[in-house]
Structure 1
């Protein structure tokens, strides 16, 4: 009789143990993040932003700085890169903002990193239509538990196909962790992009050197502000029409000459001054003089500004050196003969 009761008891015990045992999925975490077709929970597009986000534009359209930041450190680095390059910038933000409580944030970060290992990427509210206009994309993030912050992982995962063929430069901030693991994550997330070997990591001990460290890094990877194109000779050339004759002048590449050229065409009367030593007129407003070099000994054909009065003076004769004169151009060849006549003359000034 005891044996009959013992058999059902053993069977119930076996069922209980089986129900409480961990599965293989709970024990094994893959080392390389999986990439399901859809972000978020892997089976829906519901978390995708409805409209792409426009970066804040800079003057240099060759580069884009993407960053995500919780404490503000990565944002500081991103803004410094943007300032040094004068380029576009865009913050990548999570769908749900991170907790202000540090321990709660750490717990969420652990959960999201574990979810990414299983192919489930947390939702972000930032997206880009394309990256076609950029030569180089900077990607910045804090490092959590040795990994790239989950928000940026999601963004790269979502935009992997749009980043194909693009050069990507990684920068990160951390309390002391290295950047190599997150660089490998970037390579896995964007396998068809070129992840540059030269990365930038700023830790709590080196953040104070941010400006110089960034400048050195940008030089290493060949990123720089776009310099204005050197003007060709024609863009610094001016035509002066006197009656039926047109003479030319080659202008200096300085602020005053550029200012004058920007106002052309214009018709002015050149007043005779000091017995045809100079032909003068008064630009209104006065020409820009910031950064120009003062002082010259004018020769026939020199076009100058007399700083105390603000007048333009074209010299028809040699004159003594003066620190109050700024040379802004010279009449080509023997063209000064057309102006070296008594009395006032009317002329038309045009860019060539």
Structure 2
């Protein structure tokens, strides 16, 4: 009887270890893009996520908001949308056809200067097209921001100036595109404009030269902030 008991005990332990191994597969090479991963949704519930115990809970619907002048941020945020189930809003300036890069970005520089001088005045921010969104529907908001002169691009600042307080208590994930400059100024702008947001750390910084390889960077970042696709 003792031999039978020990045999059953060893067999049970072996099965238990095998099950744990199946729940923790070896991750893909983080340097290899795999675009098909973003559409894998067996449960039809990608719009929910979970968060590790060290960060705020991520559960419920997700919204992506971004502005893009050169389309780098557009490429990044649409790739993000391909990896999760999220609604998406592209902020558009009310004045069309403006070349912010003309005369060595003189127009864009002037817009940032106006905001820096009077950040609490609505008149400091350039007009944008009207946006309709019910923030009560969302628990997580990913914000895609180009960097202009060490700050967040002016049209996106306008959006957050008007709607940032509606994001109180939401989980905020910041994605920044820049040529080479650091992103601390953009992070400061986001926290100023969304004073009561639960900012997920770290922010994702993608340089312009990395845009074509952003898929794997986004995948790793989602894992680092605890956003798990179901």
TM-score for both structures, normalised by structure 2: 0.68
Listed as ranges, the matches of 1:155-166 within 5 Å are 155-166=159-170
SS of structure 1 residue aligned to 2:141: strand
Listed as ranges, the matches of 1:123-162 within 5 Å are 123-162=127-166
SS of structure 1 residue aligned to 2:165: coil
Moved over 6 A (4+): none
Q: 1:121 to 1:80 in 2, by over 3 A?
A: same
User: Contact 2:75/2:211 (CA < 8 Å) preserved in 1?
Assistant: no
Unaligned runs of 5+ in 1: 1-57, 227-352
Query: Over aligned residues, Cα RMSD in angstroms?
Result: 1.9
SS of structure 2 residue aligned to 1:70: coil
Counterpart of 1:70 in structure 2 is: 69
Aligned residues: 169
Deviation at 1:208, TM superposition (A): 3.0
SS of structure 1 residue aligned to 2:105: helix
User: Contact 1:98/1:105 (CA < 8 Å) preserved in 2?
Assistant: no
Asked whether 1:220 is paired with 2:224, we answer yes
SS of structure 1 residue aligned to 2:73: helix
Higher relative contact order (CA 8 A, sep 6+): 2
Q: 1:63 to 1:176 in 2, by over 3 A?
A: same
Deviation at 1:134, TM superposition (A): 1.4
Counterpart of 2:106 in structure 1 is: 107
> Once the two structures are superposed, what CA deviation does each residue of 1:138-171 show, in whole Å capped at 9, x if it has no partner?
0002101111000111100100221111111100
Distance 2:137 2:96 in 1: 30
TM-score for both structures, normalised by structure 1: 0.45
Distance 2:100 2:181 in 1: 21
Distance 2:74 2:144 in 1: 8
Distance 2:130 2:228 in 1: 27
